[in-house]
Structure 1
Amino acid sequence: MQLAAFATASLVLALTPGPGVLFIVARTLAAGRRAGLAAVAGVAAGNLANAVAASLGLAAVFALWPPAYNGVRWAGGGVLLWMAVQSWRRAGLEAAAQAPGGERQDAHQAFWVALLNPKTTLFFAALLPPFLDPAAPAAPQSLALGALFVTIAAATDCGYALAAGALAPRLTRWPTAGARVAAIVFGLLGLYALAG
């Protein structure tokens, strides 16, 4: 019963667009479905790293020492703003073309977008405890529930990538539109992260 409740809560939260979903959609619109699915893998890896960090107590460090939280938040905002500038520059050069090995770069960037979002670690710290059995060790349960959430989120993220991939061909009339949209999304996410 508790597992079903956790899975339902996870699905509702995963369907709510956040920085990871916006990144996935932006990359899909800019460079196609393969780029979006690579970004899904990167976001899932970053979310899993955050789940592990929350299980190991990083969320408690963030709560007790705000400079750690702010440092990660500012680093994430800086990375996103840098990605916005790079995407805007690429749009002027080669619209939505995907360079060889670009999927690896998309996954790598998506990983950092997810990992450098300290709110994700705090989210895991808040979501997991109500579903833990106090009679059993907390860390293995936290890791298992975190992995379940990451799996559910990856499935919904794939849906977002496929939907954006279906929309992307309509942007071919405006060859720089996808990359420009991606740049704007990255910039807004960066400003949001810096604002706290």
Structure 2
Amino acid sequence: MFSELFWAYLIAISLLTVTPGVDTLLVMRNAGRGGFRDGCVTSAGICSGLFFHATLSALGISLLLLETAWAFSALKWAGACYLIWLGLGSLRQAVKHKSASGAEAPLVARQAVPMAMSFREGLLSNVLNPKTALFYMALLPQFVDPAGNAFQQSLMLAGVHFLLAMCWQCGLAWMVVRFREVGIGVRARRLLNGLTGGFFIAMGARLAGN
């Protein structure tokens, strides 16, 4: 019984993992900012947040958040503000590179970014995302065998998601770094930062408006 549930979950979570979203863009942006390590540490932060949501789902706190309007609204606004903050940071980077690139450089120097900063950005992006909380609340119970320990199963399923997402996002980080090595210039990075910043701000505004 559990085996059938597991394979169904694996298919569902794989499709979710490869679907582009805020996490994907954040990993790509940070990989372009500080290299492969920056992207992978950001991914580790994002994926660590999955255990937070799995724990809430298993304990039923996600359901409580849904039924408590002020708590869910607070989570939504915190997530919206964080997305807008990330977006403004990306736009500042785009403007910074525009003003600093009098002559087009073949390769942009990587920034020395503390690992704690990269991890924190990824973790907060995931933990403060109410859509992730809703997804875990709705999805995980469908794949938990009621005859077993719900908490242990939820963490195990989150662990599977962790491994899949880490592999996928680190692969994306490697691709970004590889493109840099074959000659991506200032304009391309500025475009990525501009698009990412606009996307984050738009998502934050939409989240706040819902």
Q: In 1, are the aligned partners of 2:34 and 2:112 still within 8 Å (CA)?
A: no
1:55 counterpart residue number: 58
1:111 CA drift (Å):
0.8
Aligned residues between the structures: 196
Deviation at 1:51, TM superposition (A): 1.6
Q: Which residue of 2 aligns with 1:37?
A: 40
Question: 1:118-173 CA deviation, whole Å, 9 max, x = no partner?
Answer: 11111111111122222223222122112222222222222222223333454314
Match of 1:64 among 53, 63, 67: 67
Match of 1:102 among 110, 114, 125: 114
Label 1:5 to 1:51 Cα distance change in 2 as closer, same or farther (>3 A): same
Distance 2:11 2:122 in 1: 25
- Tell me the TM-score normalised to structure 2 length: 0.81
Superposition pairs of residues 120-159 of structure 1, within 5 angstroms: 120-159=132-171
Uncovered stretches (5+) of structure 2, i.e. residues with no partner? 101-107
Name the aligned partner's letter for residue 205 of structure 2: L
Structure with bigger gyration radius: 2
* Structure 1 letter corresponding to 2:7: A
**RMSD (Å) for aligned C-alpha atoms:** 2.3
Q: Which amino acid aligns with 2:185?
A: T
| Distance in 1 (alpha carbons) for counterparts of 2:199 and 2:31 | 12
Offset at residue 41 of structure 1 (A) = 0.9
Partner of 1:172: 185
SS of the counterpart of 2:146? coil
Q: Residues 72 and 86 (structure 1 numbering): CA distance in 2 closer, same or farther, change over 3 Å?
A: same
* Conserved? CA contact 1:29–1:167, under 8 Å: no
Is the aligned partner of 1:78 residue 2:91?
A: no
Residue type of the alignment partner of 2:149: P
Give the match for residue 200 of structure 2: 186
Q: CA deviation at 1:108?
A: 0.9
Q: Contact 2:33 / 2:111 at 8 angstroms: preserved in 1?
A: no
Q: In the superposition, relative to structure 1, how do residues 101 and 27 fare at CA in structure 2: closer, same or farther (>3 Å)?
A: closer
SS in 1 for 2:184: helix
Q: What whole-Å deviation, never above 9, does each CA across 1:160-194 have from its counterpart, x for those lacking one?
A: 22223333454314264443344233323322332
* 1:114 maps to which of 126, 147, 154: 126
Distance (Å, rounded) in 1 between the aligned partners of 2:38 and 2:118: 6
Identity %: 27
TM-score of the superposition, structure 1-length normalised?
A: 0.86
5+ long unaligned stretches in structure 1: none
Farther off after superposition, 64-73 or 108-117: 64-73
